[in-house]
């Protein structure tokens, strides 16, 4: 087995540092803060049809199952964030104190997005923002501070207006269920909208991954988690 050796200092260390900065190795789970409800919701005020509602959950949703080999194929077939339905232009707030790491970076969720780095090697991504955020990379933000306005993944503001919120490790290789990280009355919030009722069943293990707070983490590029032998509901048209 080839075992590289590195000398401290000099050009070698400089090159190594640069290579590490651009490497895509996921952080070890032990380096990432576990969930302790340390974050808040990305919207203020009372949820409702005119404000914001929970839409698609994080995880093994029926929607992501049906697109597990396409849209979500690189995320183990998992909807790697939480969707909050909201009219376009609803103020989006930082879920925790942190530093703006990216504005319209390379992490998808168009047309506009923001990434904030937090303590514990966690990063939050706010996706499908309507317009480019006015926050700047490097800027410190506080929990609850408005960092953008919500938009629509299909750019129309009438077809699918929602915020896509992700919680990642800082290397952007691991994706975590935001639910146990965010202090909220999820049971009450879930009474309205489709949240918590749209998970794909594996009839061989029908209770697994069926609630908003029991969803698996995802690793970029990992194998599909929901390539079920007996899925329910079946995909439209009989396709699996
Ligand atoms: Zn989403």
pLDDT tens, residue by residue, 44-64: 999 998 999 999 999 999 999
The answer to whether 152 and 160 are in contact (CB under 8 A) is yes
Residue 150 belongs to some domain of the structure = yes
CA of 56 to the centre of ligand 1 (A): 7
Give 125-146 pLDDT, tens digit per residue.
999 999 999 999 999 999 999 9
CA of 166 to the centre of ligand 1 (A): 8
| Mean pLDDT taken over the chain | 89
The Cα–Cα gap between 189 and 195 comes to 9
Ligand 1 (single-atom ion) residues, CB below 5 Å: 81, 83, 164
**Residue 11 reports pLDDT greater than 60:** no
CA of 64 to the centre of ligand 1 (A): 9
CA of 8 to the centre of ligand 1 (A): 44
The answer to whether 39 and 46 are in contact (CB under 8 A) is no
Distances (CA, A) of 51 to 75, 77, 85, 86, 92: 30, 30, 8, 6, 12
Give 164-203 pLDDT, tens digit per residue.
999 999 999 999 999 999 999 998 898 887 777 799 999 9
CA of 19 to the centre of ligand 1 (A): 31
Residue 28 belongs to some domain of the structure = no
Question: Which of these, 105, 117, 123, 121, lies nearest to 27 by C-alpha position?
Answer: 121
Residue 3 belongs to some domain of the structure = no
Share of the chain above pLDDT 70, in %: 89
**Residue 17 reports pLDDT greater than 60:** no
Share of the chain above pLDDT 90, in %: 79
How large is the C-alpha radius of gyration of the chain? 19
User: Residue 152: which CATH number?
Assistant: 2.70.70.10
Which residues constitute the domain of residue 139? 40-238
CA of 32 to the centre of ligand 1 (A): 23
Residue 217 belongs to some domain of the structure = yes
Asked if residue 111 has a cis previous peptide bond (ω within 30° of 0), the answer is yes
Residues 2-9 have a mean pLDDT of 37
Residue 145 belongs to some domain of the structure = yes
Residue 195 belongs to some domain of the structure = yes
User: How many domains is the chain partitioned into structurally?
Assistant: 1
CA of 59 to the centre of ligand 1 (A): 10
The Cα–Cα gap between 207 and 37 comes to 25
Residue 30 belongs to some domain of the structure = no
| Cβ atoms within 10 Å of 44's Cβ, excluding its own | 14
Residue 206 belongs to some domain of the structure = yes
């Amino acid at each position: 087995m080839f075992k590289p050796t590195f000398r401290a200092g000099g050009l070698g260390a400089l090159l190594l540092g640069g290579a590490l900065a651009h490497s895509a190795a996921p952080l070890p789970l032990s380096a990432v803060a576990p969930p302790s409800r340390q974050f808040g919701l990305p919207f203020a005020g009372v949820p409702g049809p005119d404000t914001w509602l929970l839409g698609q959950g994080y995880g093994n949703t029926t929607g992501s199952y049906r697109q597990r080999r396409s849209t979500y194929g690189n995320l183990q077939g998992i909807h790697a964030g939480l969707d909050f339905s909201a009219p376009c232009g609803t103020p989006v707030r930082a879920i925790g104190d942190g530093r703006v790491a990216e504005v319209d970076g390379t992490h998808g969720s168009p047309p506009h997005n923001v990434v904030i780095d937090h303590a514990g090697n966690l990063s939050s991504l706010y996706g499908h923002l309507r317009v480019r955020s006015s926050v700047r990379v490097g800027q410190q933000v506080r929990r609850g501070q408005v960092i953008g306005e919500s938009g629509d993944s299909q750019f129309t503001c009438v077809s699918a207006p929602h915020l896509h919120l992700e919680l990642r490790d800082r290397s952007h290789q691991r994706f975590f269920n935001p639910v146990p990280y965010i202090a909220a009355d999820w049971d009450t919030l879930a009474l309205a909208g489709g949240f918590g009722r749209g998970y794909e069943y594996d009839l061989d293990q029908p209770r697994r991954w069926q609630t908003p707070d029991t969803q698996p983490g995802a690793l970029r590029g990992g194998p599909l988690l929901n390539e079920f032998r007996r899925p329910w509901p079946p995909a439209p048209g009989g396709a699996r």
